[in-house]
Structure 1
């Protein structure tokens, strides 16, 4: 076991125990208010035996973590600490949060959960927002933050609690769990709270089972002839940008679709390619169009990506665009736009490969790209 430190919100130094192989999937353990990281010792041992790397964190003002820096102990400071730690871990861990730390994790992961964590485990988390866990009475504003955050937690979640919990009823807990997009709820009979400490073996079994299903230690495998979904998931591990490919139909109607299979081919001559599904409704027009444009989207254009990926909507009526030098539609505000002449079209299984010669390109270096990774939109993260 090694002791490491993280830079928390407002200059606070946070201390953690780290145990396990650095190549194993990471688990971040967060204790409840009034506890310290030592409560996780038995759980940590079980997780390491199950092939996990464990980071057991002390919250600010607890255990080895200082209360220096800004000296704050409020809810927002704890949320800032967790987001800061996740930015420094170097991977997307499963976050396991006990008691009131579940409130912290719920709020911290609400905005961009998929880019910060692989999954979330809430242990003994109260769903009645009362008391003074952060040095003062809980405000209605904090409670509303947590309730508003729940539907935004777009990552696998396990909510495990004692059936005899004095903090809330099963009905309160079930209502909260239903608000989470992807949540499994488990109640352990004859237990009130401190589940991880009092019923460690039962808790470890639940936790390891969840991890094996949601974050398996070994890699998934595709072999020719097996489920195509597995191959698609494997390909999705390659992060890409997102483009909208546009052209003009023979009758002067603009057409376009979202595509992320895009790459540079050559600088001399300047060639690029995009891959278009044979089933795309605008595919035949793109195959025949003399000119087309590839619009690379920036972080603020997620609605544009959704619009051009959907059906039954006048995509261009809701989009700001103009005709490029050769007539192909160029979307305003894009990260970059490449106006191309058709160079070649090749068959590619259930897609066709459209190769274009770049005639004009423009870009805005001040913007950040809209990214796509493992089936979800992402953004650049600067630690």
Structure 2
């Protein structure tokens, strides 16, 4: 039976290199069902923990202990002083958060968070990670779609003159998503400095030197192929980042993976159609 939980608390975790990571946490301690894993939610690049607000609350109302984490350099978490945003470092952060949670965990990761989740699930093993939900991400993602994300993120590096200007940029990037009547909701993702609105993540995340994409893909594929836990891949049908071919290859590589496609969603599936997304995630988590 569903029980309504309280609003989330803002909490701190320690990442590697002494960084402080901020998270929203629902059902801490006795409020969580003992027979269900903690759900740890990892957002995509350029996003933050608020991307999961609605789904986190729904899972909490189902009795789950839920943690939605701001990755290093994103949201209210510390920025890496040496611009170390390598996926291995982000995975090491997640491993420390898993140690602090100290119970079995189901991971939900979108885009960058999903790739981090693959590596963390592989490193932590099935005794600690009981399930993995990947939100519009596979190791063999489409380079054109990825480049469009980077172009959108680069376009906002110098800030916006108003919230409406930022909302127009989002609407141009996500033309299939209904534009909100008010841009006020963007305040969770922007900060006002010197009269301009800037995305709430470290610009060095975009300008740091990159690694070899082929080696990175190989690393993710190797980690995913070794997973024995239940895996759910959710694709937004309108996505230009994950192709049907990429899905097919992933399902052939990870035989225990399930696949769901959301017809009204793109790469940012949780925000594009949150009701459908949450229904799929709750069904997987409670099973």
TM > 0.5: yes
Residue in 2 that maps onto 1:150: 224
Are 2:8 and 1:12 equivalent residues in the alignment? no
Residue in 1 that maps onto 2:66: 54
Residue in 2 that maps onto 1:180: 254
Residue in 2 that maps onto 1:39: 51
Question: Which is greater in Rg?
Answer: 1
CA contact (8 A) 2:20 2:77 kept: yes
2:266 to 177, 192, 216: 192
Q: Tell me, in whole angstroms, the C-alpha distance in 2 between the residues paired with 1:103 and 1:136.
A: 19
Cα-to-partner distance string for 1:131-158 (whole Å, 9 max, x where unaligned): 5676444512212110111111121111
Are 2:78 and 1:66 equivalent residues in the alignment? yes
The secondary structure found in structure 2 opposite 1:64 is: coil
* Alpha-carbon shift at residue 177 of structure 1 (Å): 2.6
* Alpha-carbon shift at residue 112 of structure 1 (Å): 3.9
Cα-to-partner distance string for 1:194-236 (whole Å, 9 max, x where unaligned): 11111111011101111111xxxxxxxxxxxxxxxxxxxxxxx
After TM superposition, the structure 1 stretch with the greater mean CA deviation from structure 2, 71-80 or 20-29, is 20-29
The secondary structure found in structure 2 opposite 1:115 is: coil
CA contact (8 A) 1:78 1:104 kept: yes
* Alpha-carbon shift at residue 116 of structure 1 (Å): 2.5
Pair 199,89 (structure 1): closer, same or farther in 2 beyond 3 Å: same
User: Which has the larger share of helix?
Assistant: 2
Residue in 2 that maps onto 1:78: 90
Q: Tell me, in whole angstroms, the C-alpha distance in 1 between the residues paired with 2:251 and 2:16.
A: 29
CA contact (8 A) 1:159 1:185 kept: yes
Provide structure 1 residue ranges, at least 5 long, that are not aligned to the other structure.
Answer: 214-383
Pair 128,196 (structure 1): closer, same or farther in 2 beyond 3 Å: same
Supply the RMSD in Å over aligned alpha carbons.
1.9
The secondary structure found in structure 2 opposite 1:114 is: coil
After TM superposition, the structure 1 stretch with the greater mean CA deviation from structure 2, 127-136 or 94-103, is 127-136
User: Which has the larger share of strand?
Assistant: 1
Pair 137,129 (structure 1): closer, same or farther in 2 beyond 3 Å: farther
Deviating above 6 A after TM superposition, structure 1's stretches of 4 or more consecutive aligned residues are none
Residue in 2 that maps onto 1:128: 141
CA contact (8 A) 2:14 2:21 kept: yes
Q: Tell me, in whole angstroms, the C-alpha distance in 1 between the residues paired with 2:97 and 2:82.
A: 17
Pair 21,77 (structure 1): closer, same or farther in 2 beyond 3 Å: closer
1:167 to 241, 244, 248: 241
Q: Tell me, in whole angstroms, the C-alpha distance in 2 between the residues paired with 1:185 and 1:78.
A: 26
- Which structure is higher in RCO with an 8 Å CA cutoff and minimum separation 6? 2
